[in-house]
Amino acid sequence: MRILFLGDIVGRSGRDAVTDRLPGLRKELALDFVVANGENAAGGYGITGKICQSVYGAGVDAITTGNHVWDQREIIPYIEGDPRLLRPQNFPKNTPGRGFGVFRTQDGRRVAVLHVMLRLFMDALDDPFACVEALLGDHALAQNCDAIVLDIHGEATSEKQALGYFADGRVSLVVGTHTHVPTADGRVLPKGTAYISDAGMCGDYESVIGMQREASVLRFTRKMPGDRLVPAEGEATMCGVLVETDDRTGLAKRIEPLRLGGILAQQRPS
């Protein structure tokens, strides 16, 4: 199976990169399933139902989020009715929405998507390791899932790497989101799980993690309130990873970065 994961979509430029490029990429790369993190899609803050439908229309099969999931208040009633939009599974009990889903590819194969938020330098949440363990107790590769994608949304690469090895051999892909900077450590771990600390973002990299750089710099050079940060509007780089799995085991055969458009060095998976 060929699965594409796209990093955090930031603002209009990020959305345009996805909606313009993904339909062609699905055919070119023979993609079976696409996941995108959309927590910054609405002007850099959260996501809306309208944006979800636009992204789905471009070929995304499931959307993950993160700490900005509730920034657009309209998403609170919407998320209950959209099983393809996930918030972190380790949010407190009774939080609207869900952090896990099993989806079908066009040929009927089962892809599980699990989304957790980490804790170092982040909000205090339920233990993401225990959360992953509980879900994997009921969902296993080569049994009731043909592939499992785990989005780990967090700041610290140490916590991400630890969770990668914790899940090694039990999921197809562990992919970090949240920092918006693509890392160079994409690899297949010893037991067969593809891993990368951060997939990067779909956004304008002539910026500070997707936001206009002038206002961002001012936040670090003076201690006083400033204007709300807004996304940079130049051409976005579409960042993500392509994973190819073994049809027999569901584990990864390879992982390759994707970087298209914008100012970063280009990388198109084979």
Distances (CA, A) of 70 to 35, 45, 60: 19, 8, 21
* Residue 105: closest CA among 235, 214, 250: 250
Reading the block at residue 121, the tokens are 């330098």
* 69 Cβ neighbours under 8 A, 6+ residues apart: 39, 46, 47, 75, 79, 87, 88, 97
CA distance 55 to 107: 21
DSSP-derived 3-state class of residue 84: coil
The one catalytic residue among 68, 115, 178, 180:
68
Supply 4's token pair. Answer: 């594409």
Give burial (CB, 10 Å; 0-12/13-18/19+) of 151.
buried
68 included as an active-site residue: yes
Using alpha carbons, select from 113, 134, 24, 3 the residue that is nearest to residue 63: 113
Q: How far apart are CA 188 and CA 169, in angstroms?
A: 10
Q: Which residues are catalytic?
A: 68
